[in-house]
Chain A
Amino acid sequence: MLESSVLFSLRLSFQVAAVATFFIIVVGVTVAYFLAQRNFKGKEMLDMLFTLPLVLPPTVTGYYLIILFGRNGLIGKQIYEWTGWSIMFTWYAAVLASFVVALPLMIKTTRAAIESIDKNLINASYTLGHSEFETTVKVILPLAKRGIMAGTVLSFARALGEFGATLMLAGNIPGKTDTMPLAIYSLAGSGEWSQANCMVILLTLMSGFFLYFANRYSKRFI
């Protein structure tokens, strides 16, 4: 019943969301740690910068990403001159778009989780002879586990549903960059309702499942 194009979109969506989530965990936890544990100038500005994609229209986020990573963009131009390759209109662009849009969810939940840890537990670890790194690995991250898990699930769900920024950056190329949300847009535009219905139901069910999962992991940080 499922056509190969539907299966392709499904597989691509998961691939994009999984790769984006991997980078979100690495970057998100690191950024959240510094925002929660350190005091430095411009800290709240940095937090704001990372949170902006949460409230900006994804098309605006996508626009900024084009300015940065487009073939003539600030960073994209350098990459193109070196390698002759541009991220634009590849599935990597979909990963980049999903990463930027979903990252704030990870940072918010993880920062809240780390900040809610009793400061004395961290101090106790120091007085027991453990370095900051050991304390992070053995005390802070395990105690922030629920927040990190919730952030991971939410980010994955958000990455799976990413549309606007992906459209700007990766385009909507059938068989190449059409993730599920983009495919639904095309199918609805050309009146292919049965396939659109199928994808809409699939995406709704999966998102519902992820939210349920995130809620089970953490009621405190959402």
Chain B
Amino acid sequence: MGLSVRLKKKVNGFVLDVAWEIGNELAVLFGCSGAGKSMTLQMIAGLLIPDDGFVRIGKTMMFDESRSINVPPQQRNLGYVFQDLALFPHMTALDNILYGSNGMCKLEKRERAKEMIDAFHIEGLEKKYPAELSGGQKQRIAFARALMRRPEVLLLDEPFSALDNPLRTEMRRFLRDIKNRFDVPVVFVTHDLTEAFTVAETLIVYSSGKVIQTGTPKDVLDNPLNSEVELLVNTTPYFLNLTNR
């Protein structure tokens, strides 16, 4: 289990050039907006094709420019939770979840759906449409849908950004439970410092299309590799400056 990538892509003057590897852990891609984090996820999922590099999920090569391998997104077994969640508005909660069960037999579909409904506390919401659900409920359905087909890696693109603060805190705790329960590597994208440090097992710091440091949150916080990382992860001087004034 794990995920290994080396990605190069040039889009409208922006250059992404990153390489990193994670095991069965919860990795956070942290950096400012426009640093290339979401783009990385899209390339892992096959929704965007890199100019060069490779994507390996588990033992399977999903993309390799040098060997002309490019597995279509449908066949890369991964779960993707989008920033706006992307629940299908014309399907009920249950149909949204079942939509992730392509290729399963009827019995397996039903059992897996029941398992997901239990795991994500969705009982009673099955027949509701996304428009009738609260932010937190939609979140849980998006996670259930993404995990329905037993993905080999879970990709999360700022999934909590639309939630208010108390709910965000709850969802972060929930995320660790998911990670443990489903035993799947997670790549979590965020530009929120608190969020990055509370959920990460490994922190991958992005800046302008490059990875500028990788390590545990404590490592990065204690030993920032350069002033750029320091600026990104340490807000204290800014607050000190404010109080000194």
List A residues at the B interface (Cβ < 8 Å): 118, 120-121, 123-131, 134, 138-139, 142-143
Contacts A128-B149, A130-B102 given; does A118 touch B86 at CB 8 Å: yes
| Identity of the chain B residue whose Cβ is nearest the Cβ of A122 in the assembled complex | B86
- Once bound together, how far apart are the Cα atoms of A139 and B148, in whole Å? 18
Interface segment, one of B58-66, B77-85, B118-126: B77-85
- Cβ of A173 to closest chain B Cβ, rounded Å: 47
Whole-angstrom CA separation of A54 from B80 in the bound complex = 43
Q: Are A142 and B100 in contact (CB under 8 A)?
A: no
B residues lining the A interface (CB < 8 Å): 45-47, 72-80, 82-84, 86, 88-90, 99-100, 102-103, 145-146, 148-149
The secondary-structure label for the interface of chain A is helix
Kindly state the separation between the CA atoms of A125 and B80 in the bound complex, as whole angstroms: 10
Complex Cα–Cα for A126 and B82 (A): 13
Q: For residue B42, which residue of chain A has the nearest CB?
A: A123
Q: Is there an interface contact between A120 and B74, defined as CB atoms closer than 8 Å?
A: no
- Residue contact A123 to B102, C-beta cutoff 8 Å: no
Q: Which residues of B contact A125 (CB under 8 A)?
A: 88, 99
Residues on A with C-beta less than 8 A from B78 are 127
Contact check, B82 vs A124: say whether CB atoms are below 8 A apart: yes
Q: Check if A129 sits within 8 Å of B149, measured CB to CB.
A: yes
Rounded to whole Å, the gap between the CB of A129 and the closest CB of chain B is 4
Which residues of B lie under 8 Å from residue A131 when comparing CB positions? 74
Residues of B within 8 A of A128 (CB): 99-100, 102, 145-146, 148-149
Residues on the A chain within 8 Å of B103, using CB: 129
Residue of B nearest to A129 (CB): B102
- Given contacts A120-B82, A123-B47, A124-B82, whether A129 and B88 have CB atoms under 8 Å apart is no
Q: Given A142-B90, A143-B90: A127 and B80 within 8 A (CB)?
A: yes
CB distance from A146 to the nearest CB of B (A): 11
In the assembled complex, how far is the CB of residue A139 from the closest CB belonging to chain B, in whole angstroms?
Answer: 6
Q: Which residue of B lies closest to A132 (CB)?
A: B74
Residues of B within 8 Å of A127, CB to CB, are: 45, 47, 73-74, 76, 78-80
CA distance A123 to B72 in the complex (A): 12
On chain B, the residues within 8 Å of A129 by CB distance are: 74-75, 77, 100, 102-103, 149
Provide 9 A-B residue pairs closer than 8 Å at the C-beta atoms, listed in order of the A residue: A120-B83, A123-B86, A126-B46, A127-B79, A128-B99, A128-B145, A128-B148, A128-B149, A142-B90
**Complex contact B102–A121 (CB within 8 A):** no
Interface centre among A121, A130, A143 (most CB of B within 10 A): A121
CB B187 to nearest CB in A, in angstroms, measures 13
CB-CB < 8 A to B83: which residues of A?
120
A120–B146 CA distance with the chains assembled, in angstroms: 14
